[in-house]
Amino acid sequence: MANGRKSRTSSSNPIARWKGKWALVTGASAGIGRALAEQLAASGANLVLTARRVDRLRELADGLAARHGMQAEAFAADLTRPEAPAAIHAFTEGKRIDIELLANNAGFGAFGYTHEIDEARLLDMVQVNCAVVLRLTRIYLPRMVERRSGDILIVASTAAFQPVPFISAYAATKAFDLIFAEGLAEEVRGYGVRVCALCPGSTNTEFQQVAQQPDRAFRSAETADKVARVGLEALAEGKSSVISGGRNRWMVFGERFAPRGFVAKMAAKVMGPESTKS
Ligand SMILES: NC(=O)c1ccc[n+]([C@@H]2O[C@H](COP(=O)([O-])OP(=O)(O)OC[C@H]3O[C@@H](n4cnc5c(N)ncnc54)[C@H](OP(=O)(O)O)[C@@H]3O)[C@@H](O)[C@H]2O)c1
């Protein structure tokens, strides 16, 4: 225990609990999903990687398998399509892969005035961030319960804890993820199944660009590697949720003592487009 930090040997690596097991990671072509895949592979887990950009997935799967000697499969799916969860399941069934860790990570945001954001984009966001999380969980959970073991990571956000003007719908989707994960964790704990909501704050990924969100929210962003490690370790430890980063934890803690309306007003000042500021 040099300088108060845990020394990391292979036997003390909590991510090694998935060594030799199969994990399904959604949104593995970039950001936090890619980092989850890399850390799981480095600890010896086998992977099914899914996202739309299949070239990236194949390159990642081949590279990880070559480097770490585990097995990795890539499957292209557009999660806005209602048939995507069943197609992913058919793929894993067809390969006789028993999923022991489901990482519900894929998601995106949409910044701006809700009345100006394309309605189809907002509904796609609800589909990917909420409905798909529910459907993939509903697909893979019964086998985990039957087996009396299994793990589910759901990537929520610090945006889940309060209203966030200008990403109002996104924050609401992440509140769904957090509340669903925390409730489910208690439902299935007695069946040996662990569920954890990972709540990152701003993280350096492609998220900002996809959400068309201004730079200022991302000035103190964490790395995807760090966030992925925090999530996997919390899941391995049996936590039902975890906030990545001390600053983010303090922010969420502090907000508990203020009325929600006040927090929303303050958030509007931070998040609002420059043009709305006097
Ligand atoms: N970055 C942040 O500041 C931050 C903060 C809190 C929470 N989060 C959450 O973290 C998770 C991962 O986001 P990230 O930051 O890593 O963003 P990212 O770099 O943009 O990665 C998002 C991933 O989701 C996939 N995805 C998006 N739409 C999809 C669709 N329709 N079908 C299939 N896959 C889709 C993308 O793959 P393709 O484009 O190849 O399909 C990509 O692999 C999300 O749930 C996000 O809400 C992020």
DSSP 54-77: HHHHHHHHHHHHHHH---EEEEE-
Q: For residue 211, how far is its CA from the centre of ligand 1 (angstroms)?
A: 10
Residue 213 in contact with ligand 1 by CB distance below 6 A: no
Report CA 275 to chain centroid distance, whole Å: 32
CA of 32 to the centre of ligand 1 (A): 7
> What number does the ligand 1 atom closest to the CA of 177 have?
45
**Ligand 1 neighbourhood includes 164 CB (under 6 angstroms):** no
Determine the average pLDDT of the residues in 80-101.
98
Give the pLDDT band of residue 274 (cuts 50, 70, 90): low
Contacts of 59 (CB under 8 A, 6+ apart): none
Mean per-residue pLDDT, 100-120: 98
Split at pLDDT 50, 70, 90, the class of 213 is confident
* Nearest Cα residue to 230 out of 82, 15, 7: 15
- CA 277 to CA 264: how far, in whole Å? 16
pLDDT digits (tens, 9 = 90+) for 18-35: 999 999 999 999 999 999
What residues does each domain of the chain span?
Answer: 18-106, 113-123+137-278
How many C-beta atoms lie closer than 10 Å to residue 203's C-beta? 24
Domains 18-106 and 113-123+137-278 are alike in CATH topology: yes
Q: Is the pLDDT of residue 276 over 70?
A: no
Question: Does ligand 1 lie within 6 Å of residue 267's CB atom?
Answer: no
pLDDT, position 116: 97
pLDDT in tens, 151-191: 999 999 999 999 999 999 999 999 999 999 999 999 999 99
Is residue 202 over pLDDT 90?
A: yes
Indicate if 191 belongs to the active site: no
CATH number of 113-123+137-278: 3.40.50.720, 3.90.190.20, 3.40.190.10, 3.30.465.10?
A: 3.40.50.720
φ, ψ at 198 (rounded to 5°): -90, 120
pLDDT recorded at residue 2: 36
Determine the distance separating the centroid of ligand 1 and the alpha carbon of 235, expressed in angstroms: 19
Rounded to 5 degrees, what are φ and ψ at 54? -70, -30
Q: How far is the CA of 100 from the centre of ligand 1 (A)?
A: 22
Q: Can you state the angle between helices 132-147 and 168-188, rounded to 10 degrees?
A: 10
Mean pLDDT taken over the chain: 93
- Per-residue b/e over 223-235, b at no fewer than 16 CB within 10 Å? ebbbbbbbbbbbb
Q: What is the pLDDT of residue 272?
A: 87
What CATH number is given for 18-106 in this structure? Answer: 3.40.50.720
Query: Hey, whose CA ends up nearest to atom 44 of ligand 1?
Result: 107
User: Which alpha helices (DSSP H) does the chain contain, by range?
Assistant: 31-42, 54-68, 84-94, 119-126, 132-147, 168-188, 207-211, 224-236, 246-255, 260-271
Query: Which one from 113, 140, 170, 191 is the annotated catalytic residue?
Result: 170
CA atoms within 13 A on the CB side of 66: 6
**Among all chains, which residue has been given the structure tokens 């009325």?**
259
